[in-house]
Amino acid sequence: MISLKEIEKIYDIISEKKKKKKKDDDKWKGLGYDSFESVNESPDHDLAKSLKNIDNDIIKVLKKYENKADIDKAVYSWMLGLHSKLKKMGLNV
């Protein structure tokens, strides 16, 4: 059977661990770590996912017109226009 002193000792150990954990959690508050986001929820991931969907749509359009038009010239002039628009936005490509 466990004595009262042993129970008190166990209780003290547990309460110290809880205090330490709370102290560690408080240390991160206000630094953007209050709610840990997973990597999949970040804006960078959402942007990359959206751009990948656009890539797939562009490939579908190019395959659709593969035999009907000069794709090399069309893509070249389209890319020049896209780079120009991105440069106006302030992005370096």
pLDDT tens digits for range 30-44:
665 555 545 556 778
The Cα–Cα gap between 4 and 80 comes to 80
Confirm whether 64 is domain-assigned: yes
Confirm whether 15 is domain-assigned: no
At residue 93, the pLDDT reads 77
Confirm whether 32 is domain-assigned: no
Q: Please, what is the Cα angle at 10 between 7 and 16, to 5 degrees?
A: 140
At residue 19, the pLDDT reads 66
User: For the chain, how many structural domains are there in total?
Assistant: 1
pTM score above 0.75: no
Positions of the chain with pLDDT under 50: 37
In which domain, by residue range, is 63 found?
A: 42-93
Could you tell me the two tokens for 37? 């986001």
Confirm whether 76 is domain-assigned: yes
Confirm whether 33 is domain-assigned: no
At residue 33, the pLDDT reads 54
Confirm whether 79 is domain-assigned: yes
The Cα–Cα gap between 26 and 49 comes to 34
Confirm whether 65 is domain-assigned: yes
Q: Where are the beta strands (DSSP E) in 1-93?
A: none
Confirm whether 69 is domain-assigned: yes
